[in-house]
């Protein structure tokens, strides 16, 4: 209901709210990267891939699955009607989105892997458990908050897109 209220106030308000959520997520990612690199342990980088679990092939497959789940192509292309020059702006937005997501993905992944061996933790909570494993309990609380903000931002983005989506009427 809150998202509907923000959306009803207009596209400018929705854009400002969406930008605020994005900045919160980026700030949180910077904090995660900083704390993870502060606890850097080069022993965690050897072996770089887990050969008993598929090695490089499994690593690249997992990276591709996670990477494409965060791209947001659907939101960019659906909101192309809002762009002033969609023929120019949409391809640039998709390209820039790819570059930004790739850089963030690589930096976050490297910093977390260098902090702790993640295979020893439960897949559902590995990130939080890794920070608890090095004694950073406050960062764990931040991670749960970031998860809430991330899911909220995804819901809000889908809410923005829904009136623009073609209907089956």
Q: What is the mean pLDDT of residues 126-140?
A: 85
| pLDDT reported for residue 143 | 83
DSSP string, 69-82: HT--HHHHHHGGGG
Instruction: For 75-120, write each residue's pLDDT tens digit.
Output: 666 667 777 888 888 888 888 877 887 888 888 888 888 888 777 7
Q: Which of 75, 69, 83, 73 is nearest to 161 (CA)?
A: 75
Candidate from 93-97, 103-107, 123-127, 134-138 with smallest mean pLDDT: 123-127
Distance (Å, whole) CA 164 – CA 166: 6
CB atoms inside a 10 Å sphere around CB 12 = 8
State pTM to two decimals.
Answer: 0.71
Q: Is the pLDDT of residue 134 over 70?
A: yes
Q: What is the pLDDT of residue 168?
A: 45
Is the pLDDT confidence value at 71 over 60? no
Question: CB count, 10 Å around CB of 130?
Answer: 24
DSSP string, 112-162: HHHH--GGGS-TTTHHHHHHHHTT-HHHHHHHHHHHHHHHHHHHHHHHHHG
pLDDT at 3 over 80: no
Paired tokens of 134: 């090095």
């Amino acid at each position: 209901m809150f998202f509907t209220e923000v959306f009803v106030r207009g596209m400018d308000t929705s854009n400002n709210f969406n930008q605020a959520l994005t900045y919160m997520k980026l700030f949180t990612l910077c904090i995660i990267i900083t704390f993870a690199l502060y606890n850097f342990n080069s022993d965690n980088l050897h072996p770089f891939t887990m050969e008993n679990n598929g090695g490089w092939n499994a690593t690249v497959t997992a990276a591709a699955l996670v990477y494409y789940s965060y791209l947001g192509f659907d939101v960019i292309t659906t909101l192309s009607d809002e762009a002033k020059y969609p023929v120019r702006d949409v391809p640039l937005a998709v390209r820039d989105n790819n570059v930004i997501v790739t850089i963030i993905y690589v930096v976050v992944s490297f910093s977390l892997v260098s902090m702790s061996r993640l295979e020893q933790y439960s897949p559902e909570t590995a990130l939080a458990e890794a920070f608890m494993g090095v004694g950073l309990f406050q960062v764990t609380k931040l991670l749960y908050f970031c998860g809430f903000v991330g899911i909220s931002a995804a819901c809000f983005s889908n809410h923005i897109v829904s009136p623009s989506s073609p209907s089956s009427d």
